């Protein structure tokens, strides 16, 4: 197989599709929107949930060395002193003296404002954590922070999980949840926002085995994206230089994706050594030791952290799936989403709204909805309806026609190939189940029927 060349898609096309079809809206749009905050619409919420579910399934459910956690967003303020965020989670900020726009000075290419060319102020350090107050009194003593990463909730629960699950090293704790960063500059759609979601693993290992596990997790995480359909050519690993390593990291690789604006970070995988547990032991006075009952040693585990962004994954999966195919006098826009990620798995399309046909179609719709997100569409021509489903990535359409009333069969039409097969209604669920799993061999129904495979002109 020849390796495909990297391919960038136009961001405007993806944003427009997301707006048009209800994947993603600007937050509080009726008030003019809130800068860098986004709302996931009916299709976006499904896609996002499917991504998180796929991650949880592969990283927690199917592994015997991982458990889950859901820690609170607000944590004891000492957490952030220990983690280094109070002191070190800062970006250098400059402001334009003319237009008052603010910039991250380490992002700027020149000495003047990139927007109006005005003079810039001296750079000052700006802490990215959102501050709020716990309880009714707004005073310094009641300050709490919205977590800027989910990781710290895992570190502070290390002993709780260890003691209640009787885990032995190596093992990991996984968590999916919101994080907040008061980023100076945001943009590129959902790529950089101030409220976002992370999928993080903290994998605890014996010191000395950390390099091996670090390599393992880089490979494992890269493969996860590829298995779910991202083209390998659009993914690249980038090792952090010594000077750019975060204060806690011994080594770090980014998984970069070829986003519309260029190669950018999708996920970071860091070898955090024992930094976090040592810090929390010192600030809390509680032991973070692990006792190895084979060697009878006490030690603080090292941590390998694969940290992925949910929203950046949504954007990467959308960009990678986006495609336009010339089709007669129109362009067929489609999302080649992996079936497990597609917001809607099956669309049921009766050829006409006539009662007899609608009755059968609605029954099929009700039956399939027990298993998947299914949509029902009886408006406009069948060709238009196929296009609408292609555009949102629905892998299969089930068409109910007048012949269905006689032969009790329906047509399954595939999104990518536009191939059509005719199947008995009684076998429909089983066949869709197999097809959604990517299986191509089906059990023939009693009577050994052979399904007709044909390509319909014009899809
Ligand atoms: P960047 O360099 O792009 O600011 P980072 O290195 O600070 O990212 P990490 O602290 O490693 O990011 O966070 C882990 C993951 O969380 C990132 O790979 C990304 O997917 C996601 N993430 C971080 N910041 C944001 C943000 N502002 N908006 C959306 N996702 C984010």
What is the rounded CA–CA span in Å between residue 316 and residue 14? 10
Q: How many domains does the chain have?
A: 2
Same domain, 211 and 138: yes
What is the rounded CA–CA span in Å between residue 41 and residue 44? 5
How close is the Cα of 308 to the center of ligand 1, in Å?
Answer: 8
Q: Residue 451: its pLDDT value, please?
A: 45
371 within a domain of the structure (yes/no): yes
Same domain, 273 and 395: no
Q: For residue 454, what pLDDT band results from cuts at 50, 70 and 90?
A: very low
107 within a domain of the structure (yes/no): no
Same domain, 244 and 298: yes
What CATH code is carried by the domain that includes residue 402?
A: 3.40.50.800
Q: For residue 442, what pLDDT band results from cuts at 50, 70 and 90?
A: low
136 within a domain of the structure (yes/no): yes
* Rounded average pLDDT over 187-202: 95
Same domain, 300 and 365: no
Where does residue 408 fall: left (phi above 0), alpha (psi -120 to 50 degrees), or beta otherwise? left
What percentage of the chain carries pLDDT values higher than 70?
A: 95
Same domain, 74 and 211: yes
Domain endpoint, select from 262, 284, 318: 318
Same domain, 358 and 234: no
Same domain, 32 and 145: yes
Q: Is pLDDT of 42 > 70?
A: yes
Same domain, 141 and 46: yes
What is the rounded CA–CA span in Å between residue 28 and residue 6? 36
Q: Is pLDDT of 244 > 60?
A: yes
Taking the complete model, does pTM exceed 0.85, yes or no? yes
Give, using CA atoms, the residue closest to atom 19 of ligand 1. 309
**Residue carrying structure tokens 């100076």:** 184
Give, using CA atoms, the residue closest to atom 26 of ligand 1. 192
Whether 345 is in the pocket of ligand 1, judged by its Cβ within 6 Å, is no
Whether 312 is in the pocket of ligand 1, judged by its Cβ within 6 Å, is yes
1 within a domain of the structure (yes/no): no
How close is the Cα of 51 to the center of ligand 1, in Å?
Answer: 17
pLDDT tens digit string along 113-124?
998 999 999 988
Residue environment code for 430-452, b if the CB has 16+ CB neighbours within 10 A, otherwise e: ebbeebbeeeeeeeeeeeeeebe
CA 229, 233, 234, 239 dihedral sign is: positive
CA 227, 372, 374, 197 dihedral sign is: negative
3-state SS assignment for residue 400: strand
Whether 177 is in the pocket of ligand 1, judged by its Cβ within 6 Å, is no
Give, using CA atoms, the residue closest to atom 22 of ligand 1. 309
Q: Residue 395: its pLDDT value, please?
A: 98
How close is the Cα of 368 to the center of ligand 1, in Å?
Answer: 38
DSSP characters over 300-341: PPEEEEEEEEHHHHHHHHHHHHEEEEEETTEEEEEE---TTT
- Mean pLDDT, the chain, whole residue set: 92
What CATH code is carried by the domain that includes residue 283?
A: 3.30.930.10
Same domain, 365 and 403: yes
Q: 333 has which bridge partners?
A: 324
First-to-last C-alpha distance (Å) of the chain:
28
Domain of residue 392 covers: 344-455
Helix H or strand E encompassing 403? helix 402-407
Whether 196 is in the pocket of ligand 1, judged by its Cβ within 6 Å, is yes
146 within a domain of the structure (yes/no): yes
What is the rounded CA–CA span in Å between residue 176 and residue 306? 12
329 within a domain of the structure (yes/no): no
What is the rounded CA–CA span in Å between residue 288 and residue 66? 19
Q: For residue 246, what pLDDT band results from cuts at 50, 70 and 90?
A: confident
Q: Which of 153-157, 362-366, 447-451 has the lowest mean pLDDT?
A: 447-451
Q: Which residues contact 219 (CB under 8 A, 6 or more apart)?
A: none
Whether 320 is in the pocket of ligand 1, judged by its Cβ within 6 Å, is no
Q: Which residues contact 224 (CB under 8 A, 6 or more apart)?
A: 55, 58, 59
Same domain, 216 and 256: yes
451 within a domain of the structure (yes/no): yes
Whether 309 is in the pocket of ligand 1, judged by its Cβ within 6 Å, is yes
Burial of 392 (0-12, 13-18, 19+ CB in 10 A): buried
Residue 168 phi, psi (nearest 5): -115, 155
Same domain, 353 and 248: no
Residue of 91, 192, 264 best suited for mutating to test ligand 1, as the one with most atoms within 8 Å of CB: 192
What is the rounded CA–CA span in Å between residue 437 and residue 320? 20
Atom of ligand 1 nearest to the CA of 310: 20
How close is the Cα of 52 to the center of ligand 1, in Å?
Answer: 16
Q: Residue 157: its pLDDT value, please?
A: 98
Residue of 89, 272, 309 best suited for mutating to test ligand 1, as the one with most atoms within 8 Å of CB: 309
Give, using CA atoms, the residue closest to atom 8 of ligand 1. 265
Domain endpoint, select from 318, 335, 357: 318
Q: How many residues does the chain have?
A: 459
Q: Which of 120-124, 147-151, 270-274, 455-459 has the lowest mean pLDDT?
A: 455-459
Whether 307 is in the pocket of ligand 1, judged by its Cβ within 6 Å, is yes
Same domain, 219 and 80: yes
How close is the Cα of 241 to the center of ligand 1, in Å?
Answer: 17
* Rounded average pLDDT over 302-328: 96
Whether 313 is in the pocket of ligand 1, judged by its Cβ within 6 Å, is no
Whether 265 is in the pocket of ligand 1, judged by its Cβ within 6 Å, is yes
Q: Residue 3: its pLDDT value, please?
A: 59
How close is the Cα of 424 to the center of ligand 1, in Å?
Answer: 49
Give, using CA atoms, the residue closest to atom 28 of ligand 1. 192
114 within a domain of the structure (yes/no): no
């Amino acid at each position: 197989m020849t390796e495909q060349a990297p391919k960038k898609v136009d961001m405007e096309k993806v944003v427009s599709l997301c707006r048009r079809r209800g994947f993603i809206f600007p937050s509080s749009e009726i008030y003019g929107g809130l800068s860098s905050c986004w709302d996931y619409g009916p299709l976006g919420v499904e896609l996002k949930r499917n991504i998180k579910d796929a991650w949880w399934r592969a990283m927690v459910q199917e592994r015997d060395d991982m458990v889950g956690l859901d820690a609170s967003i607000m944590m004891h303020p000492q957490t952030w002193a220990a983690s280094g965020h109070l002191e070190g989670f800062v970006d250098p900020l400059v402001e334009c003296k003319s237009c008052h726009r603010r910039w991250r000075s380490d992002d700027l290419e020149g000495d003047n404002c990139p927007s109006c060319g005005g003079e810039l102020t001296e750079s000052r350090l700006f802490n990215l954590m959102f501050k709020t107050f716990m309880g009714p009194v707004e005073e310094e003593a009641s300050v709490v922070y919205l977590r800027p990463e989910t990781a710290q909730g895992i570190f502070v629960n290390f002993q709780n999980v260890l003691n209640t699950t009787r885990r032995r090293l190596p093992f990991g704790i996984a968590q999916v949840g919101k994080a907040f960063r008061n980023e100076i500059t945001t943009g590129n759609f959902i790529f950089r926002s101030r409220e976002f979601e992370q999928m993080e693993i903290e994998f605890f290992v014996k010191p000395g085995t950390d390099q091996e596990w670090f390599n393992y997790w880089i490979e494992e995480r890269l493969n996860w994206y590829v298995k779910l359909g991202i083209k390998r050519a659009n993914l690249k690993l980038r090792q952090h230089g010594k000077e750019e390593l975060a204060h806690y990291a011994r080594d770090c690789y980014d998984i970069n994706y070829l986003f519309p604006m260029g190669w950018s970070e999708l996920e970071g995988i860091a070898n955090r050594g024992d930094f976090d547990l040592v810090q929390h032991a010192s600030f809390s006075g509680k032991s973070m030791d692990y006792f190895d009952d084979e060697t009878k040693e006490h030690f603080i585990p090292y941590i390998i952290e694969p940290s992925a962004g949910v929203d950046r994954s949504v954007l990467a999966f959308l960009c990678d799936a986006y495609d336009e195919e010339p089709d007669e006098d129109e362009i067929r826009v489609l999302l080649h989403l992996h079936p497990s990620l597609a917001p809607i798995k099956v669309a049921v399309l009766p050829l006409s709204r006539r009662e007899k046909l609608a009755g059968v179609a609605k029954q099929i719709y009700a039956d399939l909805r027990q298993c998947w997100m299914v949509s029902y569409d009886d408006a406009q021509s069948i060709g238009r309806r196929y296009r609408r489903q292609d555009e949102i990535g629905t892998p299969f359409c089930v068409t109910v026609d007048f012949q269905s009333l006689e032969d009790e069969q329906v047509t399954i039409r595939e999104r990518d190939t536009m191939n059509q097969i005719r199947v008995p209604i009684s076998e429909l669920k089983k066949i869709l189940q197999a097809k959604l799993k990517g299986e191509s061999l089906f059990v023939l129904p009693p009577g050994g029927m052979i399904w007709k495979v044909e390509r319909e002109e014009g899809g």
